[in-house]
Amino acid sequence: MNWLPYYRGDGLRREVEIAPPPPWRTFPRKSQHAQYRPPAGMTDAVNAALHLRRPLLITGPAGSGKSTVIDQVAHELGLGDVLRWHITSRSTLGEALYRYDALGRIHAQNVGNLRGGDESRQDDIAPFLQLGPLGTALLPTDRPRALLIDEIDKSDPDLPSDLLDVLESGEYEIPELVRYREPKVRVRLWASRDTHEIDRGSVKCTEFPFIVLTSNGDRDFPPAFLRRCIRFTMPRLGADALTDIVSAHLGEASDARAAELIGQFAARISQGEHLAVDQLLNAIALLTAPDGPDGAQAEQLRTLLLRELARD
């Protein structure tokens, strides 16, 4: 049959019902802690990082599940919502610790002066400060927070070295608060409406956070940085591990077509092709659906969904 459930390319308006999304594409996004299947050796690496209070550096190709383990750890150990710092070439240590809107504060002061308000209220610095993901993770707490530093290999070359002092000392200063007239200021946390009182601009952690750093392996890191991390490299997934992952997301992968796709996917990975697990999930969800495509159309869609990531 021809699979034409939605868009047909004929320019005619029609009412169509779009099927429910696959579980990993529902919004608002939900944690995948229940579906995650850690590869061999991952639990030992996580427990070593937790026990030794060291960051866990996970290296592996895109889509191999590096960033999902922290959701499962945070859920199992009750570490709260995961704080996330997504790295780009422009990311800096300063923005990960805190953000200060100096221009916004100046504007508020000018507006207040024009209105003739209380001068002390016009100079309130708190509304213009917010802790970043790393800064929030290092706040004093009874239990460690969970922080994901995603794709650290995309950073400026100096960022890993800049992190060293903070990861070793577990503390930092906010200079704007060190100089502020009030010794104690409540500052907003990252990705939250909650606030925390900071005394004289100094933040010192009491429980070192559980930090997962991910890397696609696109660059090397300084030895001084590596020795401060517990390092784990994602293994290549075989057919059995892939079947377990597919079953966790879609139910038992007993369909013959699903087993065939898993076998082909595992073979391609073993040959060194760069493929992501979510590509396999997408292909199985679409190609094994009861009203899904078949024949030449199914083959075209399989090629479309399982294109090698390292090629155009």
- The verdict on residue 199 lying in a domain is yes
What CATH number should be reported for the domain holding residue 204?
3.40.50.300
Which domain-ending residue is among 182, 208, 233? 233
Cβ atoms within 10 Å, residue 167: 20
Q: Is the pLDDT score of 56 beyond 60?
A: yes
134 near 169, Cβ under 8 Å? no
Which domain-ending residue is among 233, 265, 282? 233
**Sign of the dihedral defined by the CA atoms of residues 238, 281, 31, 60, in that order:** positive
Q: Which of 121-130, 132-141, 231-240, 302-311 has the lowest mean pLDDT?
A: 121-130
- The verdict on residue 201 lying in a domain is yes
- The verdict on residue 256 lying in a domain is yes
- The verdict on residue 310 lying in a domain is no
CA-to-CA distance for 85 and 76, rounded, in angstroms? 21
219-248 confidence digits (pLDDT tens): 999 999 999 999 999 998 899 999 988 988
- The pLDDT confidence band at residue 118, using thresholds 50, 70 and 90, is low
- Token reading at 146: 């969970």
- Give the DSSP H or E segment for 185: strand 184-188
Question: For residue 307, how far is the Cα from the chain centroid?
Answer: 24
CA-to-CA distance for 22 and 286, rounded, in angstroms? 9
The residue-averaged pLDDT of 192-197 equals 95
Say if residue 77 is in the same domain as residue 211.
Answer: yes
Say if residue 200 is in the same domain as residue 289.
Answer: no
Is the pTM higher than 0.85? yes
106-115 confidence digits (pLDDT tens): 888 887 666 6
- Token reading at 197: 């009182």
Cβ atoms within 10 Å, residue 230: 18
Which domain-ending residue is among 189, 213, 233? 233
- The verdict on residue 8 lying in a domain is no
- Token reading at 36: 């995650």
Say if residue 164 is in the same domain as residue 300.
Answer: no
Domain that holds residue 261: 237-305
Q: How far is CA 142 from CA 9, 10, 136, 137, 204, in A?
A: 58, 61, 14, 12, 13
- The verdict on residue 77 lying in a domain is yes
| Helix locations, the chain, DSSP H | 42-52, 69-77, 93-97, 102-115, 119-122, 133-137, 159-169, 175-178, 223-226, 239-250, 256-270, 277-287, 295-305
Say if residue 134 is in the same domain as residue 168.
Answer: yes
Which of 130, 54, 140, 57 shows the shortest CA–CA distance to 96?
130
Say if residue 92 is in the same domain as residue 222.
Answer: yes
Say if residue 210 is in the same domain as residue 242.
Answer: no
CA-to-CA distance for 103 and 116, rounded, in angstroms? 20
Domain count, the chain: 2
